[in-house]
């Protein structure tokens, strides 16, 4: 039985968010709808989730000693990782000591780097993936590229939003791809994965939620990435019944192996009826922001319910929907979103402004959402709204 008592009492429930960006902010909101005390953590102050949390802490979450200090100070009922760059060995220790990690410390450990989850999926579970090799130094890297063949994709084993990712199209790209990977890893320079190109028709994210009453799936989400970073997503991605069933089968197999309760963003390449596993995140997925308009329970609401041990009913899908990320370039702490009355003029459009405190080079600062009668018209509506948006990048204050 799941009980939630009065806030900040012995009967209350406290959640510690490790990562407080735009996804963490939505999770915090959904937890607070259930009267949960939310403590938000990130490496910089005034992160989006910190702006609405009850309390916050700023520290480097790769620092295991500091992470333990904050956990022992707060004594949360739930520790919810919302990013990859966390001292997962410390999470494993804390879980053994009785703290509850979402979905499990082992899931955070395996998925924080591409090596752990790839070896679990392909080598232990027998799931089909792209060809891959891992490399710890430059000589191993060149050998891996030679074995996989050109063209190929290079990524740090721990990074997100496309950081450190590149494509080797000719042998002249090898040195530069190694440099990019070493500079772009979340934990600094280190091990990389070299992946062979996959011939696919489209990519999907299959949001898979494990809860006390079983595993449920959202409608598949199609998406477009630019330099490894999500820019567009839509729901549902049309696919054959056979491919959809196979994606669900693999997603359930992988998430069951990871264990625990919560939402998982499982990514696949799809070619006809063939489904190839790519990656999984044991938390809400950026492409899943479209669910804030497409479903009665967004991915964030589903995550909150599952984490709290509450059942997930049938997920009501409202209709074809699309999202368009608002990425702003510059180096400032002052931007202004303009012409919003035109952006939101059409029925079935919404917008979220994340409230991030600054931009360094480029950063996702908001998202436009749209719902319509078909995926194509929803995408067109989101694009029309995006085209009307004006963003003023102003001098730093």
Please compute Rg for the chain using Cα positions.
21
Reading the block at residue 42, the tokens are 């990130």
Cis, bond preceding 151 (omega within 30 deg of 0): yes
Does the annotation count 267 as an active-site position? Answer: yes
pLDDT at 12: 95
Of the pLDDT bands very low, low, confident and very high (cuts 50, 70, 90), residue 189 is low
Q: Report the alpha-carbon distance of residue 173 to residue 200 in Å, rounded.
A: 23
Longest CA–CA span in the chain (Å) reads 62
- In the predicted model, what is the mean pLDDT of the chain? 94
Question: Does the pLDDT of residue 1 top 70, yes or no?
Answer: no
Q: Does 171 qualify as catalytic in the annotation?
A: no
pLDDT: which is higher, 321 or 191? 321
Q: What is the pLDDT of residue 115?
A: 82
**Dihedral sign for Cα atoms in the order 367, 25, 269, 235:** negative
| 368 neighbors 386 (Cβ within 8 angstroms) | yes
Clarify whether 291 is annotated catalytic: no
Residue 368 has pLDDT above 60, yes or no: yes
Of 56, 104, 160, 278, which is the active-site residue? 160
Strand pairing class (78-81; 14-18)? parallel
pLDDT digits (tens, 9 = 90+) for 147-156: 999 999 998 8
Catalytic residue among 267, 288, 299, 330: 267
> pLDDT per residue over 72-86, tens digit each?
999 999 999 998 889
Predicted confidence (pLDDT) per residue in 256-309, tens digit? 999 999 999 999 999 999 999 999 999 999 999 999 999 999 999 999 999 999
What would the pLDDT profile of 161-179 be if each residue is shown by its tens digit? 667 889 999 999 999 999 9
Average pLDDT over residues 358-370: 95
Q: Is 364 a catalytic residue?
A: yes
Which token pair is 306?
């599952």
Range with lowest mean pLDDT among 179-188, 219-228, 307-316, 363-372: 179-188
Per-residue model confidence (pLDDT) at position 156:
87
pLDDT digits (tens, 9 = 90+) for 88-107: 999 999 999 999 999 999 99
For the chain, how many residues are written?
Answer: 397
Under the banding of pLDDT at 50, 70 and 90, the label for residue 2 is: confident
Among residues 229, 272, 267, 225, which one has the least CA distance to residue 250?
A: 267
Q: What is the mean pLDDT of residues 319-341?
A: 97
% the chain with pLDDT above 70? 97
Q: Annotated catalytic, 72? A: no
Does pLDDT of 187 surpass 70? Answer: no
Give the pairing type, strands 262-271 and 202-211: antiparallel
| Residue scoring higher pLDDT (291 or 360) | 291
pLDDT of residue 186: 60
- Look at the pTM and tell me if it is higher than 0.85: yes
Section 108-132 average pLDDT: 89
* 3-state SS record for the chain: CCCCCCCCCCCCCEEEEECCCHHHHHHHHHHHHCCCEEEEEECCCCCHHHHCCCEEEECCCCCHHHHHHHHHHHCCCEEEECCCCCCHHHHHHHHHCCCCECCCHHHHHHHCCHHHHHHHHHHHCCCCCCCEEEECCHHHHHHHHHHHCCCEEEEECCCCCCCCCEEECCHHHHHHHHHHHHHHCCCCCCCEEEEECCCCCEEEEEEEEEECCEEEECCCEEEEEECCEEEEEEECCCCCHHHHHHHHHHHHHHHHHHCCCEEEEEEEEEECCEEEEEEEECCCCHHHHHHHHHECCCHHHHHHHHHCCCCCCCCCECCCEEEEEEEEEEEECCEEEECHHHHCCCCCEEEEECCCCCEEEEEEEEEEEEECCCHHHHHHHHHHHHHHCEEEECCCC
User: Choosing from 279, 342, 346, 380, which is the catalytic residue?
Assistant: 279
In the annotation, is 240 catalytic?
no
Of 346, 335, 338, the C-alpha closest to 383 is: 346
Cα 175 to Cα 20: distance, rounded to the nearest angstrom: 35
Active site residue 279: yes
- Catalytic member of 64, 162, 190, 196: 162
- Tens of pLDDT, residue by residue over 12-50, are 999 999 999 999 999 999 999 999 999 999 999 999 999
Given the residues 104, 186, 364, 366, the one annotated as active site: 364
Q: Which of 111, 255, 281, 287 is catalytic?
A: 287
Is residue 227 pLDDT above 80, yes or no? Answer: no
Q: What's the first-to-final CA gap in the chain, in angstroms?
A: 51
């Amino acid at each position: 039985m799941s009980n939630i008592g009065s806030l900040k009492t012995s009967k209350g429930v406290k959640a510690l968010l490790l990562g407080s960006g735009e996804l963490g902010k939505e999770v915090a909101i959904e937890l607070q709808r259930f009267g949960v005390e939310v403590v938000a953590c990130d490496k910089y102050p005034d992160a989006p989730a910190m702006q609405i949390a009850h309390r916050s802490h700023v520290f480097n979450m790769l620092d295991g000693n500091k992470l333990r200090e904050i956990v022992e100070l707060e004594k949360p009922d739930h520790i919810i990782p919302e990013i990859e760059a966390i001292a997962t060995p410390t999470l494993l220790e804390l879980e053994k000591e009785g703290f509850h990690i979402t979905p499990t410390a082992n899931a955070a450990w395996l998925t924080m780097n591409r090596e752990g989850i790839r070896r679990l999926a392909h080598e232990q579970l027998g799931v089909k993936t792209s060809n891959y090799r891992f490399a710890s130094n430059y000589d191993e890297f060149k050998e891996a590229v030679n074995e996989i063949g050109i063209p190929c994709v290079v990524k740090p084993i721990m990074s997100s939003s496309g950081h450190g990712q590149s494509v080797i199209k000719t042998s002249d790209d090898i040195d530069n791809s190694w440099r990019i990977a070493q500079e772009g890893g979340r934990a600094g320079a280190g091990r990389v994965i070299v992946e062979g190109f996959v011939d696919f028709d489209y990519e999907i994210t299959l949001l898979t939620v494990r809860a006390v009453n079983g595993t449920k799936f959202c409608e598949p989400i199609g998406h477009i990435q630019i330099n490894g970073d999500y820019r567009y997503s839509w729901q549902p991605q049309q696919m054959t019944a056979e491919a959809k069933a196979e994606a669900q089968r693999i997603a359930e197999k992988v998430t069951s192996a990871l264990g625990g309760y919560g939402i998982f963003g499982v990514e696949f390449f799809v070619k006809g009826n063939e489904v190839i596993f790519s990656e999984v995140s044991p938390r809400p997925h950026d492409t899943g922001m479209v669910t804030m308009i497409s479903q009665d329970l967004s991915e964030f609401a589903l995550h909150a319910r599952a984490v709290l041990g509450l059942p997930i009913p049938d997920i009501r899908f409202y209709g074809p929907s699309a999202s368009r990320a608002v990425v702003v370039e510059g180096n400032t702490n002052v931007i202004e979103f303009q012409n919003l009355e035109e952006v939101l003029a059409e029925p079935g459009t919404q917008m979220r402004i994340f409230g991030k405190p600054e931009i360094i080079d480029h950063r996702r600062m908001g998202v436009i959402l749209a719902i319509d009668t078909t995926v194509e018209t929803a995408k067109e509506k989101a694009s029309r709204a995006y085209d009307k948006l004006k963003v003023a990048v102003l001098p730093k204050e």
